[in-house]
Structure formats: structure tokens, C-alpha cells
Amino acid sequence: MEEKNIFKNQGLKIFAFLTLPVFIMVIIIDCIVIYYSVAHSEIRNNTNFYDTDMFVDSYMSEVERIGVSLNNEVEEGYFIDEYGNGIHPGEDTETSPISIQDGEYKIYYQTNHNKRKFIYLLINDETKIAYTNIQQTGKTNSLEKLKEEITTNKKYWSISNNQIQTNIDRLSEENIVRNTEMQNLSNFSVNKQYYTAFDETVQNVYATNDITINSALYNQMQKLYKYSYPTLAVSILIGVLEVVYLIYTVGKVKDKEEIYLSWHDKIPLELLVLGYFLLIAVEASLFVITLSIISVDINLSLVLVMLVGYFSILSMLCGVGTLVKRIKAHTFLRNTLTYRFIKWVIAKYKNAKNIFANNKNIGRKIALYFIGIVGISGLLILMFREFGIVLDIIFWIWCYFKIMKQVNKLKEIHDAVEKIYKGDTKIKIDESLYTGLLKELVVYINDIAGGFSNAIEESLKSERLKTELITNVSHDIKTPLTSIINYVDLLKQENIQDSKAKEYIDVLDNKSQRLKKLIEDLVEASKASSGNIKITKEVLNVKELLNQVTGEFEDRFNKRGLKVISKLPEEDVYIKADNRHLYRVLENVYSNVAKYAEENSRVYVDCVLEEEEVAIYIKNISKEELNISADELMQRFVRGDKSRNTEGSGLGLSIAKSLTELQDGKFDIFLDGDLFKVAIKFKRV
């Protein structure tokens, strides 16, 4: 509770808000002082202002300005004061210059009632005119007296015929730096004499100039530099803490969990920015005004600058504060005129679009689109003339891409229908990407695909239940069957003399073994069809595998007079399959041939390379007429002899097909009269 009171204490927030501009101003001033002090070692070394480059630059700036002004005189009697302001005789009785004659020279005195800190005498030997801002008295009524008045000062500097005389060591002929300003002054000093002096003892407030201003700033810099580093560190620390505190607490009010927005925070952002721009313009004007009175009163100007700066920073903090509150309240974009206008346009567009989209008359829609394109194209040409053609081309390109976008959507629908046609019913088209009739079509396709998918899923579920039933029943049958087989074996070991009994025991043994084989085939067929078999693929040599299987069935084939004719490639051929399961596939096919092939006939085993596949063809002549189709022969429990006199279960080919497909192969049967042909294909490695 105490923590919440601290962060929602209105008085503490106001205090932090009002004091933060002070610390920001201190940081700015300290940075300026430190930067300027690093650049000027005189400040750090507490050098007297009149022994620094700043004084030299200020003094020469005053001299150069007066020299340039004098050079730009346009008529006789045009007086230039120390600020470069031109005054004509007789324009103003209070400021008009007084002129007296001294031999060939006419001297113009500026009319003033206050002694100046910076005094000068400018003599034009070509026009025989002199200008000065020294008061006209009996002690200054000639050029020689004026020169003496100037050169008796503690700090004076003069140049005549490009020769410098001064008692300021750093402005002497030996030490002065010939910079651009001095070069200009040298050019102007032809046929001219400059006598200047600076009297630091004059206390007249109206005698302020660049030298006095820079002197005051320099002395202030020296005072501030002593405390700049500690005050900067403290100000940054406190300022950062206050910024973090204000950012976290802004908008938080007692008894309210949500961010509180005042009337100021609800003004549209564009109007708020415009208002702050106007406020900044006013503050900039005040800042210029305060700087303009620096020549009158430096201290007053600095105080006013500080006040203007304080309130400027305070107004900026107000602007930042309302932006932070808008961001925290998630109204930054929503509370703008642009956002409201765009939202209104989008709402109107969606409304019109929905009305248009719900209209199922395709012909009418195409006609409206065509009329719209033609109308907009004509309007662009009427509005922009020649440039309208360029806009039309851009508009047509845009229309083309919009049309192609709809064509692509139609293509996506076509592809989805094609997949359903080919058996892939597990598709779902995103309905949100479509509108109008296309959206309705997508909904229908999704419903059809879902219906097919559910039907297939139910079929697979039924197939799985049948497989599980077969497996469970087979397991239940195996237990008593094992007991029967074991007891038959025990009976065969007994010394039974009765021939009839031996015959019965042989029948029991034969039938029980056949039943066992049937159950094993049934379980394997169920696992193969359901995919419940582990497949481990490896690279196999097809020639070796065919030779191995053929060799193992050689005795069975010989008993029935079957001759195997193999046609295998000369080079080794490799595929990727499960060795054990592929052997079982070939074993089932060879076993089928051994049972149902015509005696004393030929069996053909071919291995053929077909593009990227390896095909194994096994052909033989059936001893029985094959009056059934290949699909019927592939079904479970269907056998080649309908009399069922052979010992087969009718599951061999079904198992072979399932095992082949589980290994990503193909298994097909072809019947042509009595010709029986099996084709097994795998991708070649």
C-alpha cells in the first residue's frame, strides 16, 4: 500500500515535474562549460580574460567591424558608430554627429552623453574626414589630441599605413595572428588610420560591446567550471531518477487502476503537435528578444534566458508526458485525426464492398468494374491532361495486378479441387483470404473435403477394428492349436500298430500345420495392410536377391517340371528396400508360381531398367483357367484353383502387395488368358 501511495502521490509528482527542468538546464550548462573549458585551457588555468585569445579575438572583432563599416561609406558626412550603424548629419538632433574643422580634416563626433568603453578614431586620408565616438571637448578638438586621448589608455591598438602600434602584447606586430579578419583590415587600411582603445574601468551600462560580453561570459565560465563536474554528476543522477519516476507514474491516479487521461491528453495528436509548434515559435521569439538585450544588461539577459529555457523545457516535458500517457493507455494512434479519418474511410469502403460482394450477379459485377476502370481513366486525363496518361498507365498496371491476384486465388481453388480429385482430402483453404463468390466456393470445397476426410477416417477406423479383431481372434485360436499340434507330435512318438490310427494321426498333423500356416498368414496380412510393420530400408542388390530366391525354389520347381528362364542385366542393379520383407514378397510370388503353374512349363524372371525404376517381372502359364480379374485375384482368401484342393491360404499375393507398398514400391498383376504376370517396381539407387 505504501509503495502505491508513493507512485500515486500527486504532490511528489508535481515536485519532480517542476524540478526536472532545473536539472536538465544544469546538465546542459555544465556540458557547455566542460566542453568549452576543455577547448580553452585558459578557463581551467584561471587566466585573466585580458591575457586570453578570447579577448584578442573580441578586440579585433570590434576593430574589423568598424574598419569594414568605414570602408562602406557612401557619401561625405556619413557617420559609422561602433556597432556599424550609419547616421546621417541632421537626421536626428540627439544622435546626429557634430563636425569641426582641423586644418584640412573635418572631424565628426558622435553625439552621446555617456562615456564608452571602446573608443576609436578613424581617419580617411583620401577624403580628409575623421570619425570618432569620443565626446567633443576642448581636450579632444583636434586629431592629435584625439590620438593622445586614445593612446593614454591601458589597452590601445592602432594601425597606420599597415604599421601596428599597441600596448597590448598579444596584439603587437610580432605576436598578432594574421587571420582572415586582419587580412581584410589590412586591405581596408590603405589611406586610412585606425586608433582604438578599451577602457575596462568605465561602468556605463550602455557601453556594453563584444569585449564586455565575452569578458562577463568568460568570468562566469571560470566560476562554473569549479563546480561543473560534481553538479553534472548529481544532476544526471537526480534527473535520471526523476525521469524514470515520472515515466512510471505518469497517468497513475489514486483509486484508479487504469491510466487517467485529462482533457489535454484527449486532444487529437495533430492539433497538439500544431499547438506545440506555435508554442516553440513563441519561445524562440522570446529567446531572441532576451539575447538582444545582452548588450544592455548581461545579467538581466542571462536571467531572462534561464527563465525562457526553464519554461521551454517544462512545456516540452508536458508534451512528452502526454505522449507517454497515450502510449500507456494505447490511445497514441487512435487519438489522431488521421486514424479517425482512415477508420471512417475503411468502414465506408467495407460497407460498400460487402454490398457489392453479396451481389451474386457476376456479369453485372464485371460490367461495373469495367465502367469504373474506364471512368477513372477518363477522369485522370481530364484532371491532369498529359500527365494523366502516365497516371492511367500506373492505374492500369495496378488493375492488372489486382486481376492477377484474383486469378491466382482461382488457381489455388483449382489446385485444391485437383488434390481432392486425386485422393488428398486433408486440405483446408483459408476462407479469410477470399471474398464474395470465391469465399462461398471455398466454404463449399472445405465442406466437401471435410466430408470425404471423415468418410475415409471412418473407413480406416473400420479397417483397423477388423485388423485388431483378426489379430485377437488369431491369438485366441493359436493357444488351442498349439496344444493340438503338441499332442499330435506326442501321438506320433507312440508305437501305434493300427494302420488306421496312423492314417488319422497323419491327417491331424497335416491339417493342424495347414491351420497354423493359415493363421500366421492371416496375422501377417492384417499387419501388412494396416502398416503395423517396422520397415528398415537398406541398399540391396536385385540380381543377388533374385538368384538367391530362384536357387531356394529350384527343388520345388524341378518336382513340377518348371524351367526358370532368367534375363538379368549384366551390371549390378541396386534399390532401397527392407531385405527381409522384400525376400518375403518374392517368396510369396515364387510359392504362388510353384503351386499354380502348368507342369512342365517355363517360368520367366526378368529384371528390367526403366528410366529411374527397376522392374522385376515374373511370368508363368497357369494350370487352371483364370476366369477372374486381377483385382479379384489380389483380394484376400481368393485362390487360383476354385476347387481349393491346393494347400494355399489365398493370402500370399495380398501380403506381397501390402509389403511392397510399405517399402514405397509398386506391385501389380496382369492376366492375359492363361498367362499370369507379376510386376514389382522400385526406384533405382
**For the segment 224-254, what is each residue's pLDDT rounded down to a tens digit?**
888 888 988 999 999 899 888 888 888 777 7
44-102 tens-digit pLDDT: 888 888 888 788 888 888 887 776 665 555 344 455 554 445 555 444 445 567 788 88
String of b and e for 546-557 (b: at least 16 CB within 10 Å)? Answer: beebbeebeeeb
pLDDT at 363 over 90: no
Contacts of 245 (CB under 8 A, 6+ apart): 13, 16
| Residue 641: domain span | 538-683
DSSP secondary structure string, 165-177? Answer: EES-GGGSTTT--
pLDDT score of 403: 82
- How crowded is residue 344: how many other Cβ atoms within 10 Å of its Cβ? 10
Task: Judge residue 572's burial from the number of C-beta atoms within 10 Å of its C-beta, 0-12 exposed, 13-18 middle, 19 or more buried.
Answer: exposed
129-132 and 105-109 as β-strands: parallel, antiparallel, unpaired?
parallel
- The larger pLDDT score, comparing residue 566 to residue 631, is at 566
- Which pLDDT band holds residue 188 (cuts at 50, 70, 90)? low
> Please, what is the end-to-end C-alpha distance for the chain in angstroms?
76
Distance of alpha carbon 513 from alpha carbon 524, whole angstroms: 17
**Together in a domain, 202 and 58:** yes
- Domain boundary at 177, 192, 208, which? 208
Helices and strands (H and E) in the chain: how many = 19, 16
Q: Is residue 109 part of a domain?
A: yes
Least Cα distance to 421 among 448, 381, 398, 387 occurs for: 448
* pLDDT over 50 (residue 638): no
Cα separation, 673 vs 163, in Å, equals 133
Bridge-based pairing of strands 118-124 and 129-132 is antiparallel
Instruction: Look at strands 574-577 and 538-541 and give their pairing.
Output: antiparallel
CA 121, distance to chain mean position in Å, is 69
Are 57 and 204 members of one domain?
Answer: yes
CA atoms within 13 A of residue 230's CA, in its CB half-sphere: 3
pLDDT the model gives residue 90: 47
Please check whether residue 544 lies inside any domain of the structure.
Answer: yes
CA nearest to 598, candidates 640, 639, 549, 541 = 640
| 122 falls within a domain | yes
Say if residue 204 is in the same domain as residue 58: yes
For residue 497, is it within any domain?
A: no
Cα angle 244, 245, 246; round to 5: 95
Other beta carbons less than 10 A from residue 203's beta carbon: 8
Region of residue 103 (left: phi > 0; alpha: psi -120 to 50; beta: else): left
Q: What pLDDT is recorded for position 612? A: 85
Confidence of residue 520 (pLDDT cuts 50, 70, 90): low
Which grid cell sits at 35? 566542453
The pLDDT, as a whole number, for residue 267 is 85
Rounded CA gap, 188 and 184, in Å? 6
> Residue 316 pLDDT more than 80?
yes
CA–CA gap between residue 369 and residue 439 (Å, rounded): 19
Write down the pLDDT at residue 455: 67
When pLDDT is averaged across residues 358-371 and rounded to a whole number, the result is: 69
pLDDT at 135: 82
> Rounded CA gap, 643 and 439, in Å?
59
pLDDT, tens digit, 9 for 90 and up, residues 587-604: 889 988 888 888 989 999
User: 188 lies in a domain?
Assistant: yes
Q: What are residue 107's DSSP bridge partners? A: 100, 130
Residue identified by cell 489380389 is 634
Instruction: Determine whether 338 is exposed, middle or buried from the number of CB atoms within 10 Å of its CB (0-12, 13-18, 19+).
Output: exposed
pLDDT at 606: 92
SS3 65: helix
Contacts of 581 (CB under 8 A, 6+ apart): 533, 535, 659, 662, 663
408 and 542 inside one domain: no
Which are the contacts of 111, defined by CB distance < 8 A and separation ≥ 6?
94, 95, 96, 97, 98
Averaged pLDDT, 256-276: 82
- Where does the pLDDT of residue 460 fall: very low under 50, low under 70, confident under 90, or very high at 90 and above? low
Neighbours of 400 (CB within 10 A): 10
For residue 381, what pLDDT is reported? 79
pLDDT band of residue 427 (cuts 50, 70, 90) is confident
Displacement of CA 28 from its chain's centroid (Å): 35
pLDDT band at 643 (very low <50, low <70, confident <90, very high): very low
Domain boundary residue, one of 418, 436, 456: 418
Average pLDDT over residues 609-627: 85
pLDDT of residue 681 exceeding 50? yes
Using DSSP, state whether 604 is helix, strand or coil. strand
Same domain, 409 and 543: no
pLDDT per residue as tens digits for the range 189-228: 667 888 888 877 776 655 567 777 788 788 888 888 888 8
Asked, for residue 271, whether it belongs to a domain, the answer is no
Q: Are residues 60 and 198 in the same domain?
A: yes
Strands 602-610 and 563-567: parallel
Which of 418, 439, 457 is the C-terminal boundary of a domain? 418
- Residue 2 has a pLDDT of 44
Total tally of structural domains belonging to the chain: 3
pLDDT at 140 over 80: yes
pLDDT at res. 679: 92
**Using CA atoms, how far apart are residues 135 and 147, in angstroms rounded to an integer?**
13
Flag the least confident range among 16-30, 120-134, 507-521.
Answer: 507-521
CATH number of the domain where residue 677 is located: 3.30.565.10
CA–CA distance, 10 with 16 (Å, rounded to integer)? 10
Closest CA to 410 of 380, 381, 435: 435
Would 556 be classed as within a structural domain?
A: yes
Is 433 among the domain residues? no
**pLDDT value at residue 76:** 46
293-297, 362-366, 611-615: range with highest mean pLDDT: 611-615
Phi/psi region, residue 117 (left: phi>0; alpha: psi -120 to 50; beta: rest), is: alpha
Percent above pLDDT 70 for the chain: 77
How does the average pLDDT of the chain come out, rounded?
Answer: 78
* Across 422-433, average pLDDT: 76
